[in-house]
Amino acid sequence: MILILLFTVTAVSAAPYSLSSGTLGNTSGFITVTNPASVNAATVENSYIVSGYGKPGVTVTLYKLSGGVYYKTGYSWNIGASGLFFKQIVIGTGKNYYLCYAESGNLYQIARFEVTGLNNFNNIRVNPFQ
């Protein structure tokens, strides 16, 4: 009975409640974040779409930095057979530091990015074809 319970716990590994700011993954190749395209992004909206592709079956949990520690947010998704993911998240004004925790079994990959909320810059326009 105890062995069965232990097996159940190790087979279904839940993302931890919090992660230290220096957390590193123990694998790679689970996910690639395509939006934002680089580590830093900015938006005038109060929400942002995080997207990317990854290995089907991987579970991705989003963490947000607060007080030097990354805490689990309510955003979590499984990557389906298409290998694609995109999720709309609410962001606040100013810098928002995020971490994607992509796990499968005992292996997990970390991907960090930052989105700055610019609520006062709604009217920037550039020549569209240059």
Partner 1 sequence: MKKERIKTVLLCLLILNCIQLTGRIWLDKKLWPAGYNFFHYAGNVPVIGDLLNKFSDNYTGLEEQTFYEAIRPKRIIAGDGSGRSVLYSNDSEYKDIIKIVSNIIKKLTPDISSDEIHNEQIEKSLLNKSVYLDYGYIADFNTLIKSFEVKDSKDFPTNQYAKSIIIVPENLENKTSICFVSEDGETAVRYRINTGEDKLIKQIDSLKSKRTKRYAFAFDLNLNADADTKNAVRLSPFIVLNTEDKEGLLISVSNCFDNKKTLSEVSDKIVNAFGYNPSSLRKAVSNRGTVRYIENNATVNVYTNGIVEYSATSKGMGIKISNPSDAESVIKAVMSVAEHIYRTVDNDHNANFVLSGDAFINNNGKYKVELDYFINGVPVKFGDNGENAVVSVIENGFIKDFKMHIAEIINSDNNVTWPSVLDAINTYADRNTERSADGILKDVYECYSVIDDKVRAGWFLNSSDGIMQIVHN
For binding to partner 1 (CB under 8 A), which residues are involved?
Answer: 34-35, 37, 43-45, 47, 49, 51-54, 80-88, 125-129
Q: How far is the CB of 110 from partner 1 (least distance, A)?
A: 19
Residue closer to partner 1 (CB basis): 54 or 103: 54
Q: In this structure, are residues 89 and 96 in contact, taking their beta carbons and an 8 Å threshold? A: no
Q: How far is the CB of 91 from partner 1 (least distance, A)?
A: 12
Residue closer to partner 1 (CB basis): 45 or 114: 45
Residue closer to partner 1 (CB basis): 4 or 81: 81
Within the chain, strands assigned E span 18-20, 31-35, 40-43, 47-54, 59-66, 69-78, 84-90, 94-104, 107-117
Distance separating alpha carbons of residues 87 and 49, to the nearest angstrom: 5
